[in-house]
A = this chain, B = another copy of it.
């Protein structure tokens, strides 16, 4: 397969993949494009490569920057802004974990904690089931939370190396 075709294939699949994870297709595609580009790109480059409008590129790029996945780069002597993506996939993953934990997991755990203290007779079947379900989810979420904390603090070789030994 030729490079151009392979790139297109990767960008398209990565975009489709993203939509299963609550990320919009275009954002994932821009990210994919930057991931496989040896050099930083301008908004115009992205517009041309993906055939999308300037406003679209601009907004999604901002979003990628706010997720910490893309950086603005100023090339000396150039008027235009350039954009580049972190290429180390471990860093990408920990960055995403960090953000999603903050935006989604932590607030959910906080809510579950409150809901666990629902008032009412603990002998009532519905109340009992509610408390059991909520506390089950909270405990599980708490463990996941701890594990992700260690993960984002660890460095790749340590983490994957250890896990690998651990799981044979």
The interface of chain A, by Cβ under 8 A from chain B, is 1-3, 6-7, 9-10, 13, 17, 19-22, 35-39, 87-90, 93, 100, 103-104, 108, 111, 114-115, 117-120, 125-130, 132-134, 136-137, 140, 143, 146-147, 150, 160, 162-164, 166-167
Contact = CB atoms under 8 A, between A and B. Distances in A.
A3 B130 contact: yes
A92 to B, nearest CB: 9
A147 B168 CA distance: 10
A120 B93 CA distance: 29
A5 B88 CA distance: 45
The 6 residue pairs across chains A and B that have the minimum distance between CB atoms = A38-B129, A38-B125, A6-B118, A20-B22, A89-B136, A150-B167
A167 B147 contact: yes
B143 A163 contact: yes
Given A1-B115, A39-B125, A13 B136 contact: no
A19 to B, nearest CB: 7
Contacts of A130: 3, 6-7, 10, 36
B90 A140 contact: yes
Contact of A22 (B22, B129, B134, B136): B22
30 contacts: A1-B115, A1-B117, A3-B118, A3-B127, A6-B115, A10-B115, A13-B108, A17-B104, A17-B108, A19-B22, A20-B22, A20-B100, A20-B104, A21-B21, A36-B126, A36-B129, A36-B134, A37-B129, A38-B126, A38-B128, A87-B132, A87-B133, A87-B136, A89-B136, A89-B140, A90-B140, A93-B140, A143-B164, A150-B167, A162-B166
